[in-house]
Amino acid sequence: MTVTDTHRVIDAVWRIESARLIAGLARFVRDIGLAEDLAQDALVAALQQWPESGVPDNPGAWLMAVAKRRAVDALRRQTVLERTHEELGRALETRQDTGAAEFTAEVDAALDDEIGDDLLRLIFTACHPVLSTEARVALTLRLLGGLTTEAIARAFLVPESTVAQRIVRAKRTLAAAHVPFEVPAGAELAARLSSVLEVVYLIFNEGYAATAGDDWVRPALSEEALRLGRILAALAPAEPEVHGLVALMEIQASRMRARTGPNGEPVLLLDQDRARWDQLLIRRGLAALERAERLGGARGRYTLQAAIAACHARARTAEETDWPRIVALYGALAELEPSPVVELNRAVAVAMAYGPAAGLRLVDELTGLPALRGYHLLPSVRGDLLAKLGRYGEARAELERAAELTRNSRERDLLLERAATCAGQERVPQP
């Protein structure tokens, strides 16, 4: 195996093992920043040694063993002792001369036990509400996704220095706020779980429909969010909204291949070739939806959205879609979480179920809302409904305004193409 081949293997191993490695270390040292440093030390050791010695049979265990040794070494220094539990500090002070081997064995046991719980603790810590949304997303992708700072910056089209600063500030904020490395209990669990799910879904959505740049979709981000969601579902099997989110992402991800044309251009839902939808992901999504509903979460935020997605997944053709049910589901979602965006989506469903005029009346009620000012999908939807009603001049103006507002170049091209079609229809003599 060449050095280049070895480095590729190391990259793959790091993506798979880094989250478990950091989680196990963080539970022990009680400092995410220090845990990541120790894990990175193990990675550096692999980069130095594996090209000569070869990749070990169990590379994850090798990395953990090296990280454990670095952790023990770090705990022998007073500066690190001050960051750890007093109990561990006292144990080290009393055994540093005669009980080193016994102490190391205890560290090994502490790091080996409850790996699943450690990952759950790491997720809840990285997504703590004390951090800004941007910081939560960056830290989650860094610690749990194993993505480099460069990769995160490229995915979100921001400078690498900006992402690096967010991650550094996030670690400092967690340390300064003395955020415990634990899964919260009671009422706090629901609030913190909401933050975790929000971060995972934000990552998924940025991959599913990129807000800016030259790509309509970024599948790698959606795949990463789906991986995190599946981990979370395995770690918190009794939480219905976790399964609801996984169901939503599985079903949405099933359409990923059909969302773009041969040249990367967007293909809207009703125009997609449903033969290209991934049936395995749909089945997984429907099963997760069933689990969420069985656990009593049928009226949860993500479960309702998953139920909407399921209506599309179950329809063999666009014409077979159960639009009245989708209208009802959006109504339930609006009652749960009143939102102009939800109302806009409900208006689209109403238009599909009961005609464009009915949908347009609802959309017109939303045009003056400050929350939708600058939201490109409002004029986009309005333009589409006006075109269906034959009001092509007004439709063209709305679609052009939507094109000005979007930051995604692929979407801008699509909107301008639709506007040009409306302009052509304007010139066609009406009977």
Task: Tell me the Cα Rg of the chain.
Answer: 25
pLDDT of residue 110: 43
pLDDT of residue 116: 56
Buried b (16+ CB within 10 A) or exposed e, 43-81: bebbeeebbeeebeeebeebbbebbbbbbbebbeeeebb
Cβ-based neighbours of 34, under 8 Å, separated by 6 or more? 25, 74, 80, 83
Q: Which helix (H) or strand (E) holds 213?
A: strand 212-213
pLDDT of residue 361: 98
Q: DSSP secondary-structure letter at 429?
A: P
Q: Return the higher-pLDDT residue of 431 and 107.
A: 431
Q: Is pLDDT at 206 greater than 60 in this prediction? A: yes
Q: Quick one: which of 123, 111, 131 has its CA closest to 19?
A: 123
- Give dist(CA 383, CA 401) in Å, integer: 9
pLDDT of residue 87: 53
Q: Quick one: which of 161, 67, 170 has its CA closest to 127?
A: 170
Q: Is pLDDT at 266 greater than 60 in this prediction? A: yes
As a whole number, mean pLDDT of residues 271-281 equals 97
Locus of tokens 């290209």: 276
Backbone angles phi, psi at 228, to 5 degrees: -65, -40
CA 418 from chain center: how many Å? Answer: 31
Range of weakest confidence among 46-60, 127-141, 370-384: 46-60
Confidence of residue 100 (pLDDT cuts 50, 70, 90): very low
Q: Return the higher-pLDDT residue of 9 and 240.
A: 240
Q: Is pLDDT at 85 greater than 70 in this prediction? A: no
Locus of tokens 């080193």: 100
**Tokens, residue 351:** 């238009």
- Give dist(CA 158, CA 36) in Å, integer: 23
Q: Is pLDDT at 83 greater than 90 in this prediction? A: no
As a whole number, mean pLDDT of residues 51-75 equals 83
Q: Quick one: which of 201, 234, 161 has its CA closest to 303?
A: 201
Q: Alpha helices of 177-300 — where are they, by DSSP H?
A: 187-208, 219-235, 240-253, 279-294
- The percent of residues in the chain predicted with pLDDT above 90, rounded, is 52
As a whole number, mean pLDDT of residues 55-75 equals 82
**Per-residue pLDDT tens for 244-262?**
999 999 999 999 999 999 9
What residue spans define the domains of the chain? 3-114, 127-181, 189-321, 374-431
Backbone angles phi, psi at 195, to 5 degrees: -65, -40
Longest dimension (CA), the chain: 99
- CATH number for domain 127-181, candidates 2.40.10.10, 3.90.1150.10, 1.10.10.10, 3.40.50.300: 1.10.10.10
Q: DSSP secondary-structure letter at 271?
A: G
Q: Is pLDDT at 108 greater than 80 in this prediction? A: no
- Give dist(CA 142, CA 229) in Å, integer: 16
As a whole number, mean pLDDT of residues 304-331 equals 97
- Give dist(CA 347, CA 382) in Å, integer: 10
- Give dist(CA 183, CA 258) in Å, integer: 38
**Tokens, residue 405:** 């507002």
Range of weakest confidence among 152-156, 310-314, 328-332: 152-156
Q: Is pLDDT at 19 greater than 90 in this prediction? A: no
pLDDT of residue 313: 97
Q: Is pLDDT at 239 greater than 90 in this prediction? A: yes
pLDDT of residue 81: 46
As a whole number, mean pLDDT of residues 271-288 equals 97
pLDDT of residue 7: 82
